[in-house]
Amino acid sequence: MSPLLSPVRIGRTLAANRLVMAPMTRSRADADGAPGALTVTYYAQRASAGLIITEGVFPSAMGKGYVNTPGMATPAQLAAWKKVTEAVHAQGGRIFMQLMHCGRVSHPSLLGGATPVAPSAIKPDGQAWTPVGQVDFVTPRELSLAEIAGVVDEYRQATHRALDAGFDGVELHGASGYLPEQFLSSGSNQRQDAYGGTAENRARFMLEVLDAMAAEAGADRVGIKLSPEMNYNSITDAAPQETYTCLVDQLRGKGLAYLHVALFGAKFDYHALLRPRFDGAYLVGSGLTQASAEKLLAEGKADAAVFGSAFLANPDLPERFRVGAALNAPDHKTFFSPPTAQGYIDYPALATA
């Protein structure tokens, strides 16, 4: 049997296999940030994953960064997500919610006219996806110390709502150039206070958010995703190896469920640097095949493997790996489509292929 199909403990969660469904933005929520019936079906179809990590979910209205992305900031959003967790659990699955505050990677048209917030007032390159199409990013507003404490508490509140909605745990999105990584990275954080300057200070926001999430859920139901040197959304850091060593050294001893590291183009082997420093489950993602994932497990370089587009296109991915079946090819044109079934819940399982 493939080692990917053996059970593994991920914090408080006992996963039936070591195949984790990656968080993937699909832009199928309604204008108010609530997922609908299609999303219920989408996640339930993929409940055979050892663990599902949802698409990024904004913890507060100011955290929204893209049109038609879901939130966990209102009672209506909570009620909508509860239908998702109930459907996944009915199929025997386990599901964590990824909390994603986009910070400066947003636009006033997505925020009720408000200016996006960030650690420093530095405009990112690129454009925001808004209700009227792509629009240039704006210069964000620097958060005050009091406001930082408020954002940390918004993560805590969103964690509380996620648990009320039935989620098995929560993941902090600490990658892709969003607010936590904006604080962590020297290129986007030029503060001169306790949240800026040294790597220890720049890591402070992320660590405080994790502590707030753990206070609600228990640390063994909290994970974090990192992606060093991904350089997405204009993120740069002058000394990334030092920065991530500093951060992960401070994660040790917190009792977190997992560290999820996805590498996109980094030439340095961050897995070799970070895995020995972390004392929970270590999840590896980005561009894996069945063979490469099995090799990672066999060599002790990962506890579980995270698959993105393979799960998107193959709702029964564990079974396909078990029997050696061919995989459906993902349709990139429908990754971020309006809320329709095409390219979302119409990928065939083996029984109907």
Domain membership of residue 353 (yes or no) is no
Any idea what the CATH number is for the domain that residue 83 is in? Answer: 3.20.20.70
In a domain, 348, yes or no: no
Q: What does the pLDDT read at residue 337?
A: 77
In tens, the pLDDT along 298-346 reads 999 999 999 999 999 999 999 999 999 999 999 999 999 778 899 999 9
Report the C-alpha gap between 223 and 210 in whole angstroms: 8
Q: Tell me the CA distances in angstroms from 58 to 32, 108, 111, 208, 324, one per residue in order.
A: 12, 15, 12, 18, 37
DSSP E strands, the chain:
8-10, 13-15, 19-21, 51-57, 95-99, 117-118, 127-130, 133-136, 141-142, 169-173, 222-226, 258-262, 281-285, 304-307
3-state secondary structure of 15: strand
352 is a domain residue: no
> 239-276: per-residue pLDDT in tens?
999 999 999 999 999 999 999 999 998 999 999 999 99
Q: Tell me: the pLDDT tens digits for 270-298?
A: 999 999 999 999 999 999 999 999 999 99
Does residue 329 sit within a domain? Answer: yes
The pLDDT of residue 132: 87
The first and second tokens of residue 152, run together, are 């940390």
Residues tagged active-site: 178
Confidence of residue 352 (pLDDT cuts 50, 70, 90): low
Average pLDDT of every residue of the chain: 97
Going by pLDDT thresholds of 50, 70 and 90, the confidence category of residue 101 is: very high
Does residue 340 form part of some domain? no
Largest CA distance in the chain: 59
Mean pLDDT value across residues 21-36 = 96
Q: Is 347 part of any domain? A: no
In a domain, 199, yes or no: yes
Q: Dump pLDDT digits (tens) for 104-162.
A: 999 999 999 999 999 999 999 999 999 889 999 999 999 999 999 999 999 999 999 99
Q: Cα separation of 56 and 67, whole Å?
A: 12
Q: Domain limits at 147?
A: 3-334
Overall domain count for the chain: 1
Tell me the residue ranges of DSSP E strands in 30-84: 51-57
- Scan for tokens 């063994």, then name that residue: 220
> Could you read off the pLDDT of 188-206 as tens digits, one per residue?
999 999 999 999 999 999 9
Q: For residues 304 and 16, give the distance between their C-alpha atoms in angstroms, rounded to a whole number.
A: 11
With respect to residue 96, please indicate whether it lies within any of the assigned structural domains: yes
